[in-house]
């Protein structure tokens, strides 16, 4: 069983982070920026997409550019603050 987090459980946090990753990858320019800024290679991203460290990198990427954070949160129907704090909920 996964540990509970302050806003739900780890599985919910992972699901939301994966949805955020999907949102990022839907736009080629944004996806390329993610790879450039995180140092991830496309193959590594495919291989490790569900891992906490990769998902934390995605959330960090969104936090670093508020317009993307807000747009992603709007698309996923969550508060931007919820998305911004998600990295703390992702357990290794």
Nearest to 14 by CA among 65, 43, 53: 53
β-strand pairing of 8-9 with 4-5: antiparallel
Question: pLDDT (tens digit, 0 to 9) for every residue of the chain, 92 residues total?
Answer: 233 344 457 889 999 999 999 999 999 999 999 999 999 899 999 999 999 999 999 999 999 999 999 999 999 999 999 999 998 888 76
The reported pLDDT for the residue numbered 11 is: 86
The reported pLDDT for the residue numbered 8 is: 57
- Quickly count helices (H) and strands (E) in the chain: 6, 2
Q: 2 in a domain, yes or no?
A: no
**What's the structural domain count of the chain?**
1
Structural domain span for residue 54 = 20-89
Q: 4 in a domain, yes or no?
A: no
Q: What is the pTM of this model?
A: 0.85
The reported pLDDT for the residue numbered 90 is: 84
């Amino acid at each position: 069983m996964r540990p509970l987090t302050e806003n739900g459980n780890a599985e919910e946090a992972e699901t939301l982070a994966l949805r955020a990753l999907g949102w990022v990858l839907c736009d080629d320019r944004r996806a390329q920026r993610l790879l450039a800024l995180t140092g991830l290679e496309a193959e590594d991203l495919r291989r490790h997409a569900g891992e906490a460290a990769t998902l934390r990198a995605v959330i960090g990427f969104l936090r670093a550019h508020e317009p993307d954070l807000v747009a992603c949160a709007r698309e996923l129907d969550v508060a931007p603050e919820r998305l911004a704090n998600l990295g703390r909920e992702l357990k290794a």
